Structure 1
Amino acid sequence: MRKILDQLNREIEIPANPDRIVSLVPSQTELLVDMGLKNAIDGITKFCVHPEGLRKEKNVVGGTKQVHYDKIRLLNPDIILCNKEENTEEMVLELEKIAPVHVSDVKDLKDSLQLINQYGKIFQVEDRALSIRKEIELQWEQFQTFIEKQPQRCVAYLIWKNPWMAAGGDTFIDYLLEMNHFENVFRKEKSRYPEIDLSSLRAKNAHLVLLSTEPFPFKDKHKEELQVKLPEQEIIVVDGEFFSWYGSRLVKAFNYFRELHLSLHNS
């Protein structure tokens, strides 16, 4: 056994070679696969959609907010991977009765790189972790050169409908919006994901409204419906995974952001 710290600085004791993993966070599941740990993953959530087909190969133990503890217990995991935002504190406390629980807490790029580093050490794939980390840093450096020439835009990033909800401050989404020169008009709200009414989008002068494809699956039909109610705003549907998934997803995210800005110029 060995002792490690998670991203909440909690000390947990894990087996020397943890090779039975339950991952309850989709972006972390994707990261594990990209680190070459696919065979070690025993349990995942129904939202772990990447890579495609993984849910057919692994045991689905529930969602990110509610899981089947009995299914997880039967898997006899060496470690369970959670996230402070995705999973509830109550879940973590109950899961700790089954196996050691590592909780991530990612609010910016530094946190994401730290998580990759921690996983590299925990699962003894430090070379692969270093490779992913270096690629993300390279993509980020190249994107900085691009984004410094882009204008600042006031935006609202909507994540839910009925009720309408937006991404507020102190979130990874808000961090990536700022990185993209998108000034989040709901950054100073008390709630991290505030409920809003559409009139506030006009009052706060949100020139650009971003409809995320997750957690609510916004599509073009929703954009068209909303455009009727907000004729003065530019509304686009964006890939929510690139704005909210961390880990190895960031390798592809910066190219997506670059293409997004170029499409705004052409619209």
Structure 2
Amino acid sequence: MNPSNPLVDALGQRHDPAPDARIVCLVPSITELLCELGLAGKLAGRTGFCIHPRDVVAAIPKVGGTKDVNIEKIRKLAPTHVVVNIDENEKPTVERLAEFVPHVVVTHPNAPRDNLALARLMGGIFGASDAAERWCAGFEAEYASLKRLPPGPARTVLYCIWQDPWMTVSKETYIASMLAELGWQVPALGQGERYPRFDWSQGLVDGLDAVLLSTEPYRFTEEHADALEKQIGIPVFLVDGEMMSWYGSRALEGLRYLGSLRALVDGTY
């Protein structure tokens, strides 16, 4: 490990290289990243939502969901490391895991370029630094391509992740940072909540250029988009939630997706 570039996670905890680690990953997008870096053989467990790459993760034992983790299953797997995320995993669960897992690696990417540090952290800890650097080079190339696009108009868009109740994302989220790469912003709703609830009102709708319905975590469909557009009278688009919210290896495709999303939305005006 380079002393000038220590392996420090989102809580400021330093980690030593552990090429012989047994990993349980409780973050779907990071499970995919670990596989991308050639580390699938070190994965001892994953959540049921860790579905990519399908042919690889099928052989890795499931340990519940991101929120309803099966602590005893993880205990029996005897991992040396568990990878968690501040948004996706609950603090009491992580604290229980820390009682018997020697190393808990906490992640919290908040913007697209945070993926560079994430890849280097995973590669540095688990013995795949060269693969991580190759991945980072690919990310930089995709990011540069996105930035070469001619600037488009600034827009205010409401990104919906749930209904009954309706929920959106705050400016402090990874999704909002992805949208900001296009010069788009999300409205300020809620009282400091990262995923605030909201009600449709004329005042809210009047301040929007478009509404984006995500395919996850709620499974919005084109039918939902068509019905909502008729209800509120402004453009509503269905967007791929994995492309917009999955940091890690899917972020490369996510950067390309941003360009096509802008073209789709701009084409309606």
Q: Do both share a fold (TM > 0.5)?
A: yes
Measured on the aligned residues, the alpha-carbon RMSD in Å equals 1.9
Amino acid at match of 2:81: I
Contact 1:156 1:206 in 2 (8 A): yes
Contact 2:32 2:249 in 1 (8 A): yes
1:238 maps to: 239
Higher percent of residues as strand:
1
Q: Secondary structure at the match of 2:21?
A: coil
> Compared with structure 1, are the counterparts of its residues 209 and 201 closer, same or farther at alpha carbon in structure 2 (3 Å cutoff)?
farther
Q: Distance in 1 between matches of 2:106 and 2:246?
A: 16
1:263 maps to: 264
Alignment partner for residue 127 of structure 1, among 117, 120, 130? 130
Amino acid at match of 1:243: M
1:65 maps to: 67
1:20 maps to: 22
Amino acid at match of 2:21: D
Q: Distance in 2 between matches of 1:23 and 1:46?
A: 11
| Normalised TM-score (structure 2) | 0.91
2:156 maps to: 154
Alignment partner for residue 91 of structure 1, among 87, 93, 98? 93
1:170 maps to: 172
Quote the offset at 1:187 in angstroms: 6.3
Contact 1:185 1:204 in 2 (8 A): no
Q: Distance in 2 between matches of 1:119 and 1:107?
A: 17
* Structure 1 residue runs without a partner (length 5+): none
Contact 1:29 1:44 in 2 (8 A): yes
Contact 1:18 1:79 in 2 (8 A): no
Q: Distance in 2 between matches of 1:217 and 1:180?
A: 24
Q: Secondary structure at the match of 2:64?
A: coil
2:193 maps to: 191
Contact 1:132 1:251 in 2 (8 A): no
CA deviations 1:219-251 (Å, max 9, x no partner) are 1111122122212x1000001111111111111
| Normalised TM-score (structure 1) | 0.92
CA deviations 1:91-148 (Å, max 9, x no partner) are 11001122111001111234221111111110111110000011111110110111x4
* Structure 2 residue runs without a partner (length 5+): 1-5
Quote the offset at 1:56 in angstroms: 2.6
Asked if 1:10 is matched to 2:13, the reply is yes
Asked if 1:37 is matched to 2:63, the reply is no
Q: Secondary structure at the match of 2:208?
A: coil
1:138 maps to: 141
Contact 1:209 1:236 in 2 (8 A): yes
Contact 1:80 1:102 in 2 (8 A): yes
